[in-house]
């Protein structure tokens, strides 16, 4: 009897103790909010910020000599871990890439193409992808232990900007942030 109890619990113990790796490569970010807003969708890069329910501002400049824009038809906002631990960049082809950062007002933001310039007080490190062992073990994204929120845009009641930490905005909703493996074929995003 003791042998059957041990043998029946051993597979369960082994499955719990074996950590599953976080996938490498690029990924999308989707948000989920249940109260007071009901949101669930992929966020998009648009004019320097990240948005729920707003089209991406992907771009491939036709005027660049030798650049074949047919290779970069993508509009999907994908991310990749930066070369420095705790950093994140957009998964784009533009030389120099586009760094993701938290602006002084808390807005999740990204740099303009061909520029590493950041506003004074911007924070670039603190991003962390991890596997949550609840609800099917999804890959989550966090930033330095701060909450991530979606705040309504003044331009439309259905558009929300993504912020890190508290904001002075009204009607913001705390969101879960999921990192889903994907790829991108976008050249750059305007900022």
Report how far residue 126's alpha carbon sits from residue 112's, in angstroms, rounded to the nearest whole number.
Answer: 21
Cis omega (within 30 of 0) for bond into 151: no
Query: Residue ranges of the domains in the chain?
Result: 20-189
- Looking at domain 20-189, its CATH architecture is Trefoil (2.80)
Q: How far apart are CA 55 and CA 77, in angstroms?
A: 10
Residue 57, pLDDT score: 96
Q: What is the pLDDT of residue 42?
A: 87
Q: What is the pLDDT along the chain (191 residues), one digit of tens a residue?
A: 443 443 344 344 334 434 567 777 788 888 787 665 666 788 999 999 999 999 999 999 989 999 999 999 988 899 999 888 899 999 999 999 999 999 999 999 999 998 999 999 999 999 998 887 766 677 888 899 898 999 999 888 889 999 998 666 678 888 888 888 887 889 999 98
Please list, in sequence order, all residues whose beta carbon lies within 8 angstroms of the beta carbon of residue 139, skipping any fewer than 6 positions away.
Answer: 22, 23, 27, 129, 130, 131, 132, 178, 179, 180, 181
């Amino acid at each position: 009897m003791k042998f059957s109890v041990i043998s029946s619990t051993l597979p369960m113990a082994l499955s719990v103790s074996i950590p599953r790796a976080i996938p490498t490569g690029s990924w999308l970010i989707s948000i989920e909010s249940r109260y007071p807003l009901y949101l669930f969708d992929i966020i998009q890069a648009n004019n320097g910020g990240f948005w729920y329910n707003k089209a991406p501002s992907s771009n491939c400049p036709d005027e660049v000599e030798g650049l074949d824009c047919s290779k970069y038809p993508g509009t999907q906002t994908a991310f990749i871990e930066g070369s420095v631990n705790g950093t994140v960049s957009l998964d784009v082809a533009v030389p120099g890439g586009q760094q993701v950062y938290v602006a002084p007002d808390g807005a999740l933001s990204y740099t303009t193409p061909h520029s590493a310039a950041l506003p004074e007080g911007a924070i670039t490190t603190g991003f962390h992808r991890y596997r949550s062992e609840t609800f099917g073990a999804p890959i989550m994204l966090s930033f330095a232990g701060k909450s991530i929120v979606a705040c309504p845009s003044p331009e439309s009641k259905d558009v929300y900007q993504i912020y890190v930490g508290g904001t002075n905005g009204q009607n913001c909703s705390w969101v879960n942030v999921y990192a889903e493996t994907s790829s991108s074929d976008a050249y750059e995003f305007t900022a």
